[in-house]
Amino acid sequence: MFADRLIEKIQEKGTPCIVGLDPALKYIPLNFLQEQDISNNSSIQIKAEALYLYNLEVIDAVYDLVPAVKLQSAYYEIFGSYGIQALERTVFAAHQRGLLVLLDAKRGDIGSTSEAYAEAYLGGEANNHKIDGMTVVPYLGEDCLIPFFEAAIASAKGIFVCVKTSNPGAAIIQDQLVGSRHLYEIVADLILPWSDKNIGKYGYSSIGAVVGATFPEAAEILRKQLPNSIFLVPGLGVQSGNYTSVRACFNQNGLGAIISSSRAIMYPHIYQSSQLTGQKAIRNAAIEFIQNVQMAIA
C-alpha cells in the first residue's frame, strides 16, 4: 500500500522532505533555455518539452536525497496535450530513479464526476499518469471524496484531502466555526473512518490530509484528530511558513508527515539569491531545505 511504500522511502532517504516540480518558463534560468534554443517565440510543443527537460535537471539533482516528488498539474495543463505528455514523461523519469510521485491536481466534484476523475488518475485502462498519490478537495461533501478513497484503496495509492491549506485566504472558509468546531475539523471527520480502515504495517493510512505549515495551531488539532493519516505539508519557503511550525504535523515517532518545497529548490537563482544555476545550485538548495526541516523536528 502507498503509506507503507512512502514510510519505507522516508526511512531509506532519512528525510520526510519532498520536492515539488512546478516548472514555469518565466522562472527557468535563461541560460538553460538558451542551451535548449527555447524562446518566447518557440512553439507550444517546444515550450512543453522545456518543462520536461528542466524537470530532469531537478530530478537528477535530488533523486538520491528525497523520497518523492510532487507535480502541480496546472503548470503542465497550460500547454495542453503537450504539457500532459511532459507530465507523464516526468512521472516515468522519477519512477525510473526510484522516487514516488504525487500529483497536486486538487480534483473534486459530484459523485459520478469524481468517479471519472478517480478512474482517470488512480486506475482504469486509459490511466497513463501512473502516479502514486494525489490531492483532492472536499468542499462538495462526502460524495465527492468516497470515489477517490475507494479507488485509492483498490489501487494501493494515496489520497491527500485539502483540509487546512497554507494560503492565507483559506481561513475565511476553513476557519469558520460550526458550533464550537472549525470547518476544517468537520472535514477531517470525513477522512477518519476511511483512514482507520486502511492502516498499513507501519501504523499509517494511505488516506491523508493536506495541512499547511503556516497554521501550526490547526496542525496540532488535526494531528490529534487524524493520528494515522499522513500529512502533506506545503507552505515553507516562498509561502513563508516557519520551519519550527512543521513539528506539530508529526507524531512523537517522527513520522506522519511529508514536507514539500517547490520553487525555492527549483529556482535557487531567484529565491535564494544564489550565484549558481544548474544541478549544483538545485542540490544545494535541497540539502539546505532538508537540514532546516531536520533541525526543526529533531
Report the distance separating Cα 281 and Cα 132, nearest Å: 28
Amino acid identity of 240? S
The reported pLDDT for the residue numbered 271 is 74
Average pLDDT over residues 101-124: 91
Structure confidence at residue 126 (pLDDT): 59
DSSP assignment of 137-165, as one string?
Answer: --TT-HHHHHHHHHHHHHHT-EEEEEEE-
Query: How high is the pLDDT of residue 135?
Result: 98
Q: Cα separations (Å) of 22 from 3, 100, 264?
A: 24, 16, 11
* Candidate from 66-75, 166-175, 221-230 with smallest mean pLDDT: 166-175
Q: Which residues contact 57 (CB under 8 A, 6 or more apart)?
A: 32, 278, 279, 282
Contacts of 169 (CB under 8 A, 6+ apart): none
Q: What is the mean pLDDT of residues 203-207?
A: 97
Tell me how far apart the alpha carbons of residues 75 and 59 are, in angstroms, rounded to a whole number.
17
Which tops the pLDDT comparison, 270 or 288? 288
Q: What is the reported pLDDT for 252?
A: 87
- Residue whose C-alpha is closest to residue 243's, from 168, 298, 161, 169: 298
Q: How high is the pLDDT of residue 275?
A: 67
**How many Å apart are CA 151 and CA 119, to the nearest integer?**
7
What pLDDT band is residue 127 in, cutting at 50, 70 and 90?
Answer: low
**CATH classification of the domain holding 56:** 3.20.20.70
pLDDT tens track for 251-269:
988 899 999 999 999 999 8
Share of the chain above pLDDT 70, in %: 95
Distance CA 297, CA 65 (A): 18
- Region 93-106 average pLDDT: 97
Residue 125, pLDDT above cutoff 70: no
Each residue's pLDDT tens digit, 235-247? 775 555 577 788 9
189 Cβ neighbours under 8 A, 6+ residues apart? 225
Q: What is the mean pLDDT of residues 62-75?
A: 98
Name the domain count of the chain: 1
Decide: 103 and 71 in contact? Cβ < 8 Å.
Answer: yes
The length of the chain, given as a count of residues? 298
- CA–chain centroid gap for 228, Å, is 18
Active site residues: 106
Q: What is the pLDDT of residues 149-172, one digit of tens each?
A: 999 999 999 999 999 998 889 989
- CA-based radius of gyration for the chain: 18
- What's the rounded Cα separation, in Å, for the pair 232 and 193? 19
Domain with 206, as residue range(s), is 2-297
Specify the pLDDT at position 273: 64
